[in-house]
């Protein structure tokens, strides 16, 4: 099955870079299973190009006096389709805990956004053999109170924190085992079989090997998504 390629541009690019990026991608991404997650400020440039678009963050509130926040309904109103929630960088730098993440997932689903829900363990947790425990807690607490019907709109992104931006990736066997564990947990606890993306140092060189993993439904890419040539090479692999 053709895999999803989600491009998390994080807090990169200024106005000129974005215009060049959009021009360089041009028609290449349309009608493919590629989701672009640009900085919030630049969402409209991608919307007008008809790409599948996601926001890197959303507010857990509806609207009102929440300075600096962007609501799901505002995003939905310009054509945003996905919300990235639970990314480790937001857990770390914005102090987002499982409860807040759970509220955000609920709010996104309520507003008809599809969710890419990130989970992952730190290097220390992995070394202490706590990966399963950490992932299970993130899944159970992040998705609590959401009914089966809505869970269909939640894709889980497994992003081991020690792999993000480091160039170090788990073996395919490790990814298979962890993905099976994630799916198994979601089925047992919520009676829902999620699609699972892998994220962490995916690039145009290693994606062919990773693409052999049947258990995953795609990739969440950070650094390599900033270079259009790399994006097009990765696209070629996932669309084979
Ligand atoms: P890198 O691909 O740069 O490791 O980032 C992964 C990531 O955090 C995507 O959300």
Is 159 an active-site residue? yes
Q: Strand (E) positions, 145-200? A: 154-158, 196-199
Check if 164 has its Cβ closer than 6 Å to any atom of ligand 1.
yes
Q: How far is the CA of 64 from the centre of ligand 1 (A)?
A: 32
Give the side-chain half-sphere CA count within 13 A for 45: 21
Nearest to 54 by CA among 146, 202, 147, 155: 155
pLDDT given for residue 32 in this prediction: 66
Q: Of 60, 87, 138, 204, which residue is the catalytic one?
A: 87
Q: Is 220 close to ligand 1, i.e. is its CB under 6 Å away?
A: yes
Q: Is 116 in the pocket of ligand 1 (CB under 6 A)?
A: no
From the list 121, 125, 138, 159, the catalytic residue is: 159
For residues 204 and 182, what is the distance between their CA atoms, to the nearest angstrom?
Answer: 26
Predicted pLDDT of residue 134? 98
The finding on whether 101 has its CB within 6 A of some atom of ligand 1 is no
Q: Which DSSP string corresponds to 18-48?
A: HHHHHHHHGGGGTTSSEEEE--GGGHHHHHT
Protein residue with least CA distance to atom 7, ligand 1: 222
The pLDDT score that the predictor gives to residue 31 is: 57
Known active-site residue 215:
no
Nearest-angstrom CA–CA distance, 46 and 233: 20
pLDDT tens over the chain, length 240 residues: 789 999 999 999 999 999 999 988 876 665 567 899 999 999 998 887 767 899 999 999 999 999 999 999 999 999 999 999 999 999 999 999 999 999 999 999 999 999 999 999 999 999 999 999 999 999 999 999 999 999 999 999 999 999 999 999 999 999 999 999 999 999 999 999 999 999 999 999 999 999 999 999 999 999 999 999 999 999 999 988
Instruction: Please give the Cα distance from 223 to 12 (Å, whole number).
Output: 10
Does the CB atom of residue 98 touch ligand 1 within 6 A?
no
Model-level pTM? 0.97
* Domains and their CATH numbers in the chain: 4-238 (3.20.20.70)
């Amino acid at each position: 099955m053709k895999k999803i390629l989600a491009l998390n541009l994080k807090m990169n690019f200024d106005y000129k870079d974005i215009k060049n990026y959009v021009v360089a991608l041009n028609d290449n991404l349309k009608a493919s299973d590629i989701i672009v997650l640009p900085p919030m400020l630049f969402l409209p440039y991608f919307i007008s190009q008809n790409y599948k678009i996601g926001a890197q963050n959303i507010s857990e509130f509806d609207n009102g006096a929440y300075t600096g926040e962007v609501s799901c309904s505002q995003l939905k109103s310009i054509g945003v389709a996905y919300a990235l929630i639970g990314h480790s960088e937001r857990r770390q730098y914005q102090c987002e805990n499982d409860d807040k993440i759970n509220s955000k997932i609920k709010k996104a689903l309520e507003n008809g956004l599809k969710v890419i829900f990130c989970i992952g363990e730190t290097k220390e947790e992995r070394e202490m053999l706590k990966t399963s425990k950490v992932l299970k807690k993130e899944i159970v607490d992040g998705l609590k109170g959401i009914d089966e019907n809505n869970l269909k709109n939640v894709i889980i992104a497994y992003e081991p924190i020690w792999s993000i931006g480091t160039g170090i990736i788990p073996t395919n066997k490790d990814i298979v085992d962890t993905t099976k564990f994630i799916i198994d947990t979601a089925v047992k606890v919520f009676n829902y079989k999620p699609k699972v993306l892998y994220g962490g140092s995916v690039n145009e060189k290693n994606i062919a090997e990773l693409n052999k993993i049947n258990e995953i439904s795609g990739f969440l890419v950070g650094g390599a998504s900033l270079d259009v040539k790399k994006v097009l090479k990765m696209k070629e692999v996932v669309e084979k």
